[in-house]
Amino acid sequence: MAGLHKSEFKNPVVNWIDTRMPVFTMMNKEYAVFPTPKNFNYFWNFGALATVTLMVMIATGIFLAMNYTPDSTMAFDSVERIMRDVNYGWLLRYAHANGASMFFIVVYIHIFRGLYYGSYKTPRELLWMIGVVILLLMMATAFMGYVLPWGQMSFWGATVITNLFSAFPLVGNAIVTWLWGGFAVGDPTLHRFFSLHYLLPFVLVGVVFFHVIALHITGSNNPLGIDVKSPQDTLPFHPYYTIKDSVGLCVFFMVWALFVFFAPNFFGDPDNYIPANPLQTPSEIVPEWYFLPYYAILRSVPNKLGGVCMMFGSILVLFVLPWLDTSPVRSAKFRPIYRGLFWVHVLACIALGFVGAHRPEGLWVVLGRVATTYYFLHFLVLLPIIGKLERPLPLPESISRPVVPRGGGPLPGGATAKPMEKP
């Protein structure tokens, strides 16, 4: 038998619980004294921001669901009732709708931070792959959530996206009919999308939990990309990073509030304020901004199945990224060639975003194809090759000595170190 946990907490109630179920010890270990590299920049805020966003989305979503009706004849009106009659309904809905965009902004920055500083490399491969699962779940959740107001874009977005599956030979059409629960997007589709839109965020919470477990096994990467070598390289998570994350959180909430209160429909499409009409397609179907790059990849391939495969492939390639990048050096700071390519890749993704927002004609098609080609070239060809060719810059000795060893005694830092007086 394992026996009771020997708790160090003084408070008798906390101690009693902790002895039998050491959650307090665990929380203290993982979030209070957890040794964290001392050299994080503000890009390391975004994991915490994403977690908070997920919580806000679940909270607002639960209360919205209390007033929403997932029925094709009533969904649109029920959303309008939320906007007009439910106390603070407009705030809940605008916070939730803009929250989706905020969530993707935060997660995309989080991902590109990982790409720049090589956070996907050994030993953090599994951590990274769980992150890609989170991205996929987020995309599914966001897509189904967008269908719920049952406006024109909801309806036709659902039609186009579900039709992607019809590209697969033999089973494609059967899959689409199964997804719809009928022969077109309709009432059964709306009901099941609502059900799944409510379920998936909780699955997401579970996967985020695994993401954090994996993170706490390997420890965080850091802007230098080198391993923690001694306690001097780290700080306890609390208060140093709880307070630093709080600063980022405040700024992030300001950005979010700016949209919710002053430009609530900035990210939205006017067509979604027209009730769904199964007999008339809007003149231009554009997905939400966070899907535009994938949409551009889809349209860049002049073949239905090919486009669908490339689109899914653009995310699936991230799963094998840890093995495609052959360089042992993590941070782009010490990889001159990779650093350049990273920015080319960022620009390619942004270009794809703009391509996705425009009609596929003229130069847009060319730009879309070039950017799509680069996107895959980057991961599949350039990363494996430059890892071998590139000569990285000399790495610093440790996080506490960022550049070259200097004279003098050890620098203060670490979990318990505290200067006796101000220097």
Within 81-100, the residues that bind other proteins by CB under 8 A are: 81, 83-92, 94
Site for other proteins in 22-51 (CB under 8 A): 38
Please report, as residue ranges, which positions from 118 to 147 form the binding site for other proteins (by CB under 8 A). none
Site for other proteins in 274-333 (CB under 8 A): 274, 283
> What would the 3-class secondary structure string for the chain be?
CCCCCCCCCCCHHHHHHHHHCCHHHHHHHHHHCCEEECCCCHHHHHHHHHHHHHHHHHHHHHHHHCCCCCCCCCHHHHHHHHHHCCCCHHHHHHHHHHHHHHHHHHHHHHHHHHHHCCCCCCCCHHHHHHHHHHHHHHHHHHHHHHHCCCEHHHHHHHHHHHHHHHHCCCCHHHHHHHHHCCCCCCHHHHHHHHHHHHHHHHHHHHHHHHHHHHHHHHCCCCCCCCCCCCHHHEEEHHHHHHHHHHHHHHHHHHHHHHHHHHCCCCCCCHHHHCECCCCCCCCCCCCCHHHHHHHHHHHHCCCHHHHHHHHHHHHHHHHCHHHHCCCCCCCHHHCHHHHHHHHHHHHHHHHHHHHHHCCCCCHHHHHHHHHHHHHHHHHHHHHHHHHHHCCCCCCCCCCCCCCCCCCCCCCCCCCCCCCCCCC
Q: Site for other proteins (CB under 8 A): which residue of 341, 382, 383, 399? A: 341
Q: Looking only at residues 354 through 373 of this chain, which bind other proteins when binding is defined by CB under 8 A?
A: 354, 358, 363-364, 366-367, 370-371
Task: State yes or no: is 230 an active-site residue.
Answer: no
Under rule CB under 8 A, which residues in 53-72 are in contact with other proteins?
Answer: 56, 59-60, 63, 66-67
Q: How far is the CB of 379 from other proteins (least distance, A)?
A: 16
Determine which one of 18, 154, 233, 245 is catalytic.
Answer: 245
Residue whose CB is less far from other proteins, 66 or 170: 66
Choice among 96, 121, 211, 244 that is catalytic? 244
Q: Cβ of residue 343: shortest distance to other proteins, in angstroms?
A: 5
Catalytic status, residue 216: yes
Active-site option among 5, 191, 216, 238: 216
Tell me if residue 220 is catalytic: yes
Q: Which of 75, 142, 215, 235 binds other proteins (CB under 8 A)?
A: 235
| 288 flagged as catalytic | yes
Residue 365 CB, shortest distance to other proteins, in Å, is 11
Residues 240-269 that bind other proteins (CB under 8 A): 240, 243-244, 246-247, 250-251, 253-254, 257-258, 260-262, 264-265
> Which range binds other proteins by CB under 8 A, 133-141, 191-199, 217-225, 344-352?
344-352
**Residue 245 annotated among the catalytic residues of the structure:** yes
Active site residues: 216, 220, 244-245, 288
